[in-house]
Amino acid sequence: MPDQNKYQVALAGLSYANGKPEIAGGIKCEPQDFVVTELMEVIPSGEGEHAWLDVVKTGLSTDRVAKALARHAGVAYRDVGFSGIKDVRAITRQWFSVWLPKNPSFDWSDFEMEGVVIHCASRHTRKIKRSTHKANRFDIRISDVEGDLSLFNNRLQSLLACGAPNYFGEQRFGREAGNLLKAEKLFESSRRIKDRNLRSIVLSSARSFLFNIVLSERIKNGSWCQLLPFEPAALDGSNAVFPSNQEPENDTRLHELDIHPTAPLWGRGATQSASDYHALSVFESEIIHAYTKLSEGLERAGLDYQRRAIRSVPKSLSAEIRDRDIYLKFDLQTGQFATSILRELVGIISK
């Protein structure tokens, strides 16, 4: 096995909230083992220039389906909208929009693509933009579990009580953390990244990595479920972040998972934004200092500094054990990763 690069090593060493799981099982062995349904806040009105398509895809990337829809409709790729990038090794249900201002009665019944079913088509006045769905619903099977299954319930109860570390999933970083190596190389060249898709991949992977390593250190020092002095807090179920100012009631809200501590999404203005919570800023900057090529590259790219919750709380979670398989159902807020929930519950056996 070839030597791992520094990013692979760092990602492999991310801390667990309750130690590495004692049991392990197969995940995504078959597409039907990982079913994702997008939950939208907006319902198409039935009128407008954009066709909205309720699509189920199996074993395909979101991007590949979007390009196929664009070809079929005879429009540019930029005229196709979708809210989230969904898993390839899965069955996923999500909405796409296609801008067809001159063809209000376009017929989608003859669209054919293996692994794709259009459940319904409607019209709406707006294009679907990224991250406009409110949540994702997951139906997951963990197969052929090895180890003492009685230990699973203990982990599940800990997760329900405290949430899970809100890590960005490994898919964000590419094969062998290749997206991060690409980011480092592009940042070193100081060239403007003209390809919009490449720019998005590079910037999001670099930001996500720095967030993950800060969160990992918060778990190590035992502060990931606490608000540090004057730390900005995140409201559960939203992207809203506000100054905590050490109000006494925050301890209760933390315990009830109503608010969460945060870690940085690095970018321009990091130093200025951190001036109100100096001790936390020093702690985070010391961790990120080992990856200055990424942090400085993000600042030069012009992304604004933000904060993100470091705990992930699945909603409507249920679990059932059948023989040696575990069946999980839960909803997750947009931008959170089911694989990070699974990582706390079971080890993964490659099949």
Positions marked catalytic: 87
What gap in Å lies between CA 119 and CA 98, rounded to an integer?
15
CA torsion sign, 214 to 233 to 336 to 132? negative
Q: Do the bridges between strand 91-99 and strand 34-40 make them parallel or antiparallel, or are there none, so unpaired?
A: parallel
CA torsion sign, 14 to 19 to 22 to 27? negative
What gap in Å lies between CA 239 and CA 56, rounded to an integer?
28
Chain centroid, CA 128 distance in Å: 18
Classify residue 47 by its DSSP letter.
-
The two three-digit tokens of residue 287, written as one number: 């961790």
Alpha helices in 101-195 (DSSP H): 150-162, 178-189
Residue 82 CA: distances (Å) to CA of 47, 179, 253, 346: 18, 22, 34, 31
Q: Are 17 and 224 in contact (CB under 8 A)?
A: yes
CA torsion sign, 138 to 220 to 1 to 186? positive
* 44: helix, strand or coil: coil
The two three-digit tokens of residue 49, written as one number: 């220039």
Q: Are 66 and 127 in contact (CB under 8 A)?
A: no
Q: Tell me the chain's radius of gyration from C-alpha atoms.
A: 21
Backbone angles phi, psi at 328, to 5 degrees: -120, 145
Q: Which of 287, 274, 158, 163 is nearest to 216 (CA)?
A: 287
